[in-house]
Structure 1
């Protein structure tokens, strides 16, 4: 079998291919070592802030994986963003939270799963559900009907997402002590109105003729988080959830003007001008409607109200 594979490989390899230098992993390994060294020397600032239920080694590994995405970001802004993630016990994995570069500023961006994660920490909250309604799905909303008969959604599981049609609604609800909360429903037009009225980062991008704000690059993600943020108003709240909303708004402020300090985060003075880790260029990936999540909830998120 191995001889056959070798013959096939030889037959499909051109002379030009053979002359091309093969990519080396040396540079990647060196960059990873630099990142790891930087985290090891500065990591106590954020690992000491982690809640008890979050594994420090796993959080550090996730942080290490996102450092290459923060091209040209300052040491202080990276530490501030990591500290914000740690305060809330949210991994910067692009699902619970993300650290997004805006020029030289690394910015903490909680995702909708991050809000849901904090809701689950309240002892009265049984489950939280977020979903998308697509054009060909069966659904009905009758706000005057008693819960839970006021809202019904039956996705067309026999069809692909494309066959089900475009997303027309985002919705979210929670079960609290055996009772279902109000259903939060947000259509595309309402999401657009939230963007236009509240997002300073989007307004700044429009003024400058740019297309780099989260509302422009990940509209569905922002739409989803707008919906879940409204759910916060009808579930048992906590100081932690309130602080997450404040930090979310601070991130929008940071994207629209000079770097903002995320409330409740403090970076030691001697760390602000410290050595920078090596950089790369990619942004964290953001899942779109139809992707898997906790309870198969549907998308990725991010949004400032």
Structure 2
């Protein structure tokens, strides 16, 4: 009896660990496919990065992100390949997320009828963009902030190009009225980008991909508006910053679907944009100003989030 127990207990522990790693099931073909890509991921990664760490992050995301395990395999592996090439960690440090969404035209059956299904979309986080900007070696600092109605705030465009923001830290700051991002360059100089709250709402209405069939926005632009506003300012400011190849590739791949798993193909060449409504915006919030965002919200078949 003692011998039998000693043999079965390690097996039970191994099975339990495997079940946890695979998102609660004993076998997970998607998890296995991720593991099989280790050599390809390693080829794609920057020097010093380890594919084993990427795979651990991916399996954690698979376990923690609702419906990610239901996504088709190529879209998940494609998102991870882009993470590998950019040296970003999915679901960790606010770098990037694999966001599941429902595609009403996922694939066709034998009669040519379109069948719905889940795909994975790569969303680069606020911290991921900052990380890539710093890799250029030409950015000393990059940060985004929120302006409230009781703050002291002054912007002077033109020859001066100055921005002054003094938060009212000892009283009610009031409602948010603007958002901005500032980049300071190595060797001197800076650039900034400002958007009013009203302009940001209009931007959201034009660009948010998480919408119901009636056009109502839901998901992160509703639940984490400030974080999305910060990311938007950084994206807009990036047009005026010295770009690294990695930052340019990230901006091209952000909120897209990768269609090529070749390690030597750049993300900007391998990424397509969804042509249907998806829940495609999720962002990590600035850890110094707002709390960490929750797990991504998936777009469901009926056009609502859950």
The answer for the alignment partner of 2:55 in structure 1 is 60
Which residues in structure 2 correspond to 1:227-242 (within 5 Å)?
Answer: 227-242=233-248
Q: Which has the higher helix share?
A: 1
Alpha-carbon distance change, 210 to 186 in structure 1, aligned in 2, over 3 angstroms: closer
Residue 96 of structure 1: aligned partner: 95
Match of 1:43 in 2: 38
C-alpha RMSD of matched pairs (Å) = 3.5
Whether the 8 Å contact between 2:72 and 2:119 is mirrored in structure 1 is: yes
- Separation (CA, whole Å) in 1 of partners of 2:143 and 2:57: 25
Distance in 2 (CA, whole Å) between partners of 1:229 and 1:164 is: 26
Q: 2:231 aligns with which of 225, 231, 235?
A: 225
- Counterparts of 1:107-186 in structure 2 under 5 Å? 107-144=121-158, 146=160, 150-158=162-170, 163-186=172-195
**Preserved contact between residue 127 and residue 284 of structure 2 (Cα < 8 Å):** no
How far is the alpha carbon of 1:121 from its aligned partner?
0.7
Cα distance in 2 between the residues matched to 1:86 and 1:121: 15
In structure 2, distance between residues paired with 1:57 and 1:137: 47
> Deviation of residue 230 (structure 1)?
0.9
SS in 1 for 2:121: strand
Equivalent residue number for residue 277 of structure 2: none
Q: How many angstroms does 1:80 deviate by?
A: 0.9
Where does the alignment leave 5 or more consecutive residues of structure 1 unmatched?
Answer: 1-25, 252-259, 268-282
Matched length:
241
Q: Secondary structure at the match of 2:140?
A: strand
Report the Cα offset of residue 127 of structure 1: 1.6
Q: Note if contact 1:172-1:185 (Cα within 8 Å) is conserved in structure 2.
A: yes
* Alpha-carbon displacement from aligned partner over 1:42-70 (angstroms, at most 9, x marks no partner): 33332331112434343332222101211
The 2-side partners of 1:44 and 1:178 are apart by 40
TM-score, length-scaled by structure 2: 0.66
Give yes or no for contact 1:224–1:300 (8 Å, CA) kept in 2. Answer: no
Q: Is the 8 A contact 1:66 1:284 kept in 2?
A: no
Distance of aligned partners of 1:297 and 1:91 in 2 relative to their CA distance in 1, 3 Å threshold? farther
Q: Secondary structure at the match of 1:179?
A: coil
TM norm structure 1: 0.66
Structure 1 residue 248: Cα displacement = 1.8
- Cα distance between partner residues in 2 of 1:77 and 1:39: 11
**Higher relative contact order structure (alpha carbons within 8 Å, sequence separation ≥ 6):** 1
The change in CA–CA distance for 1:114 and 1:233 in structure 2 (over 3 A counts) is same
The change in CA–CA distance for 1:107 and 1:285 in structure 2 (over 3 A counts) is closer
**SS of aligned partner of 1:232:** helix
